[in-house]
Amino acid sequence: MGIQLALDYINNSVKWHKFHIYSDSRSTLQALSNEVNTSPEIAKIKNLYEIIIKSKWIRLHWIKAHVGHEGNEAADTLAKEATDLPHPDMQVAKSRGSVSKLFRDEMKQIWQKQWTASGNGRQTEKYIKEVKIHKHIVNKYLLQFLTGHGRFPFYFHRFNLTASPNCSCGQIGDADHYVWHCPNTSILRNKLTFDRDNPVSLLQSKENVQTICEIISWVCDTTAQV
C-alpha cells in the first residue's frame, strides 16, 4: 500500500524526475521482483511502475524497520496517529485473500444456519454440530454411522426390504443402537471413552472413531443379505 501511494505521488509529480522509494516491507519488495507472482495488488503496482519509468527514474530500497530512519519513523508515527481517527479518510481495496476469506466466512454462516434449522441429516447433526469447510477422508463405516444409511435393520425396514426393524437382540436396530446399546457389541463399546451427555464427544478421539468403525463393520458382517 505504501509503495502504491508513493508511485501515485511520483506519477503526478511534475517538478522532480528522480526518486528513491524506501520500504521496510521486504515481502512486498520480494513479491515485486518475482516474475511469477499472481497477486492482483502486486500486478497493479508493477504496471504503474512500468508506466512511470518511461519518463522518470525510480529506485526501490529495503530498509530495516525501527532503527532510526527518519522517513520510516515518520511514516510509522503517522500510521499510529491514523488508528486514532474516528473514521478512515480513504478506502483501501481489500486483497483477493481478504475477499475470499470474507466470502468463505459468510457462506459458512449461511451453511451453519441452514444445517441447524434443517430437518434433514439429523443423525449426523447429533455428532457434528458445526459445519466445516476442511476436507476429511471418511471411513465407509464411519459414514454409515453418521448418516444412519447402512446395513441396519431399521434402515432396511424403511424401504420394506426386511419384515422387522429390530436387531437380533429385540431392540430397534438403527446406527445408534449398535454403538450405544446393543448387548452384541458391548465388548467393543466398552472401549469407547466419551461423555454420554455430549454425543459430539464420541468423535473427538481417533480411538473412538476406530472402535465405531469396528462396531459398524461387525454389523455389516453379521446382518443378513437382502
Report the alpha-carbon distance of residue 49 to residue 180 in Å, rounded. 67
Residue 184, CA distances (Å) to 84, 179, 187, 215, 218 in order: 67, 10, 8, 10, 10
Both ends of the chain: CA-CA distance in Å?
Answer: 66
Residue 222, CA distances (Å) to 14, 51, 153, 212 in order: 86, 75, 11, 15
Average pLDDT over all residues of the chain: 88
Confidence class of residue 89 from pLDDT cuts 50, 70 and 90? low
Asked if pLDDT for residue 90 goes beyond 80, the answer is: no
Cβ atoms < 10 Å from Cβ of 147: 13
Asked if pLDDT for residue 80 goes beyond 70, the answer is: yes
| CATH architecture for the domain at 1-93 | 2-Layer Sandwich (3.30)
Asked if pLDDT for residue 93 goes beyond 70, the answer is: no
Q: Is 66 left (phi over 0), alpha (psi -120 to 50) or beta?
A: left
Residue labelled with grid coordinates 472402535: 211
Percent of the chain with pLDDT over 70: 93
Q: What is the pLDDT of residue 65?
A: 78
Asked if pLDDT for residue 73 goes beyond 70, the answer is: yes
Asked if pLDDT for residue 177 goes beyond 90, the answer is: yes
Q: What is the pLDDT of residue 197?
A: 92
Show me where the domains of the chain are located.
Answer: 1-93, 136-223
Residue 71, CA distances (Å) to 11, 26, 61, 65, 215 in order: 20, 17, 13, 11, 68
Q: What is the pLDDT of residue 66?
A: 66
Q: Which residue has the higher pLDDT, 146 or 83?
A: 146
Kindly report, residue by residue over 157-173, the tens digit of the pLDDT: 999 999 999 999 999 99
Report the alpha-carbon distance of residue 178 to residue 172 in Å, rounded. 9
Asked if pLDDT for residue 209 goes beyond 90, the answer is: yes
C-alpha cell recorded at residue 112: 451453519
Residue type, 203: L
pTM of the model: 0.57
Q: What is the pLDDT of residue 87?
A: 73
Q: Cβ contacts of residue 191 below 8 Å, gap of 6+?
A: 207, 211
C-alpha cell recorded at residue 182: 446393543
Q: Which residue has the higher pLDDT, 100 or 11?
A: 11
